């Protein structure tokens, strides 16, 4: 058995960035991609927000104190970082990503729109930026309510942010509508496969 599925090719890997307004289905789609593509690995971001109950430090995020985050910024360790949702900071550490790319892995980024466009600018054709769109505002509201993680206030904040993010969709390499999950995933997996083979 090949311990490292990316090892069979000596080629450097590339980046795949998934962006979607909260509730559009990005987590569901990312999990499926990671399960189906053994040469794909997840980019673990750093954040100053506190961990949620089920989250594991080093797996879901690297949870840093504001001081640790400041230090990493000062050391130039971030490929990109942004501040949002009430002053919490999120960023991608360059060293982890480069290590995986050098090993030949494709690296999946789950980051928000501005960070995504910065990464795309830096990596050009070595990054595929995909925007996942909900079929409509009404569907987005319904999915967020169904997920049951939002208060009325945070729902409104997420919807406002969703509208801002949707206005950037045409700057992405491709836009996929998550109407029917099965259909959407097939389209996404096809785009990812052809990018990997390019």
* Contact (CB, 8 A) for 24 and 134: yes
Closer residue to ligand ADP (CB): 6 or 133: 133
Q: How far apart are CA 8 and CA 14, in angstroms?
A: 15
Pairing of strands 88-93, 45-47: antiparallel
Residue 181 near which of ligand ADP, ligand 5GP, none (CB within 5-8 Å, type-dependent)? ligand ADP
Shortest separation between residue 143's beta carbon and ligand ADP, angstroms = 4
CA distance 52 to 65: 15
In Å, what is the CA distance from 92 to each residue of 5, 58, 119, 189?
Answer: 24, 13, 9, 24
Shortest distance, CB of residue 101 to ligand 5GP, whole angstroms? 16
- Our finding on whether 34 is near ligand ADP (CB under 6 A) is no
Q: Closer to ligand ADP at the Cβ: 30 or 64? A: 30
Residue 90 site contact among ligand 5GP, ligand ADP, none (CB < 5 to 8 Å, cut-off depends on kind): ligand 5GP
Binding site for ligand 5GP (CB under 6 A): 45, 49, 80, 82, 90-92, 110-112, 115
Among the candidate windows 51-59, 61-69, 164-172, 176-184, which touches ligand ADP by CB under 6 A? 176-184
- For the chain, counts of helices (H) and of strands (E): 7, 9
Q: Which residues are within 8 A (CB) of 65 and not within 5 positions of it... i.e. 6 or more apart? A: 48
Of positions 14, 15, 23, 33, contacts ligand ADP by CB under 6 A = 23
Q: Is 63 helix (H, G, I), strand (E, B) or coil?
A: strand
CB of 125 to ligand ADP, least distance (A): 26
3-state secondary structure of 104: coil
Residue 49: name its binding partner from ligand ADP, ligand 5GP, none (Cβ under 5 to 8 Å by kind). ligand 5GP
Q: Does 146 bind ligand ADP (CB under 6 A)?
A: yes
């Amino acid at each position: 058995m090949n311990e490292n599925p990316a090892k069979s090719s000596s080629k450097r890997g590339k980046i795949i960035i998934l962006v979607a307004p909260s509730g559009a289905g990005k987590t569901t789609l990312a999990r499926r991609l990671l399960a189906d593509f053994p040469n794909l690995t997840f980019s673990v971001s750093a954040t100053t927000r506190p961990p949620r109950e089920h989250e594991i430090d080093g797996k879901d995020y690297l949870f840093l104190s504001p001081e640790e985050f400041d230090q990493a910024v000062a050391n130039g360790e971030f490929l990109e970082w942004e501040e949002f949702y009430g002053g919490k900071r999120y960023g991608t550490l360059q060293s982890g990503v480069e290590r995986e790319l050098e090993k030949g892995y494709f690296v999946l980024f789950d980051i928000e729109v501005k960070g995504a466009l910065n990464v795309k600018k830096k990596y050009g054709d070595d990054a595929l930026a995909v925007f996942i769109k909900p079929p409509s505002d009404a569907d987005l509201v319904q999915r967020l309510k169904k997920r049951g993680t939002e208060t009325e206030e945070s729902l409104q904040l997420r919807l406002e942010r969703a509208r801002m993010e949707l206005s950037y969709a045409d700057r992405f390499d491709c836009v996929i509508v998550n109407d029917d999950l099965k259909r959407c995933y097939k389209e996404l997996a096809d785009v990812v496969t052809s990018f990997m083979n390019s």
